[in-house]
Amino acid sequence: MIAEREKIRLIVGLGNPGPEYKDTRHNAGFMVVDLLAAELGTGRWRACCRSLAAEAFWGGEKVVLAKPQTFMNRSGEAVAPLLRWYGLEPSGLLVVCDDLDLPLGRIRIRKKGGDGGHRGLKSVIAALGSGEFARLRVGIGRPGPEIDVVEWVLERFTAEEGPFVEESLVRAVRAVLVILETGIEEAMNRFNRRQG
């Protein structure tokens, strides 16, 4: 049984709003949350706290999915008000984002931590005054030295990368469902292992 304080009730995918950023590497968090919304059968997305939010029920309890509309580097300006609006502590939050330092196709779950150089996480930590929230990182791989990192994260995945991206997004959704069902520890044990 999961202790009440460990139950995740708000799942926030980080990304950039607008059609020009759709399906870019930096929007992996949005992609996971969109797939999760389809899996959970959420209601309509609606504007709330500078985000698009949708509600669903899992195990008889409400789960809120959100996509901040503040742009990545100001994600905290949406996440902190969302927590207040829904009356949650940071321990009830799971943030889903991309990760340059994870290979394409890999995901990693952590109970808490620093920003790891990710500006979206940095903004969330600053706004909450705490890194005491769970995060699920989706690997997008790091480019070679000849490619600018900022350009890289704002590019769309290539056709060749497609199968790896799809696999990691599906794994991420499965991992979130395990987190909701049995908790972070179980999800870390199952999904943080290196895949063949």
3-class secondary structure per residue, the chain: CCCHHHCCCEEEECCCCCHHHCCEHHHHHHHHHHHHHHHHCCCCCEEECCEEEEEEEECCEEEEEEEECCCHHHCHHHHHHHHHHCCCCHHHEEEEEEECCCCCCCEEEECCCCCCCCHHHHHHHHHHCCCCCEEEEEECCCCCCCCCHHHHHCCECCCCCHHHHHHHHHHHHHHHHHHHHHCHHHHHHHHCCCCC
pTM of the model: 0.94
Q: Residue 4: which pLDDT band, with cuts at 50, 70 and 90?
A: very low
Q: What is the pLDDT of residue 7?
A: 87
In sequence order, the 6+-apart residues with CB closer than 8 A to the CB of 60 are none
Q: If you average pLDDT over residues 156-181, what whole number do you get?
A: 94
Please answer whether residues 49 and 78 qualify as being in contact, where contact means their C-beta atoms are separated by less than 8 angstroms: yes
- Mean pLDDT computed over every residue of the chain: 93
* pLDDT value, residue 5: 44
Average pLDDT of the segment spanning 132-139? 97
- d(CA 38, CA 34) in angstroms, rounded, equals 6
Mark whether 118 is an active-site residue: no
Binned at pLDDT 50, 70 and 90, residue 2 comes out as very low
Q: CA 91: distance to chain centroid?
A: 15
Token pair 């939010």 is found at 53
Whole-number Cα distances in Å, 19 to 5, 23, 78: 37, 9, 20
Residue-level pLDDT at 47: 97
Strand-pairing partners, residue 61, are: 58
Answer yes or no: is pLDDT of 161 > 90: yes
pLDDT band at 194 (very low <50, low <70, confident <90, very high): low
Burial class (CB in 10 A: 0-12, 13-18, 19+), 35: middle
Give yes or no for residue 186 having a pLDDT over 90.
yes
Q: Mean pLDDT over residues 42-49, rounded? A: 94
- pLDDT > 70? residue 6: no
Residue among 26, 122, 135, 171 flagged as catalytic: 26
**pLDDT given for residue 134 in this prediction:** 97
Backbone angles phi, psi at 4, to 5 degrees: -55, -40
In this predicted model, what pLDDT tens digit does every residue of 61-113 receive, in sequence order? 899 999 999 999 999 999 999 999 999 999 999 999 999 999 998 999 999 99
